[in-house]
Structure 1
Amino acid sequence: MRTLEKASPIFGYTKLDDTTFNFTLEAEGRHMSFNFTLGEEKEVERRDGEKVKVVFTKPSDNVLNQKITMPDGKLVYFSREFYGNEAKMIVRMDDTDVQATIYYEAVE
């Protein structure tokens, strides 16, 4: 019997200029990429095909925040802290006490 392993998502941010970045994500055989400007709301399609509104902000040199407005109006917040070749992502949703912290390593 053969077991299939699920690959972890691979994401990346590329700085295009002082306020514009490119985001890429590879997960579950799907690739997505889009450019965004800090502070500007952008409609993007999630991996499951639903459209959400996203705003990115950069409160410090090593922190990138993301606010997602879901189709039902609920808000989800992502905060990514970058340190060398490691990153920590904290995810929380409005109206809940649940918070997730995920640690990443750079892949060469």
Structure 2
Amino acid sequence: MVFLFCGCAGEPPSRADRNVKVPLDLSGEDHYRMAVVAYKKVVELQRKREKAKTLPERRRIEGLLDFQWETYRKHLEKAEAALGKDLRVMMLRGAYWFLKGQNEKALAVYDG
């Protein structure tokens, strides 16, 4: 029996950042789609973290959340590099800053 585990679950955020590998041979559209998927996962994990009742459960979710944040950021950067000032990518960047709690940066994305 073989088990696959995310290498960053329950680990400190500094270790999670190094484990995220983004394929280089994807198109800008593919990176955009993967950033959207990561965005949805971040929102879902944030909701789960709020509902977590025990500290170990919350820490496990926070480890997964750190990994998803890094995945979201890396795919978003690749999509921005490939697609430029595409409105969809700008909206994802604004959502990124909004979820991070930095509303001024989120609004600045749309101001240009």
Q: TM-score range by the shorter chain?
A: under 0.3
Which one has the bigger strand percentage?
Answer: 1
User: Which of the pair has the greater relative contact order for Cα pairs under 8 Å at 6+ separation?
Assistant: 2
Structure with more helix by fraction: 2
TM-score, scaled to structure 1: 0.26
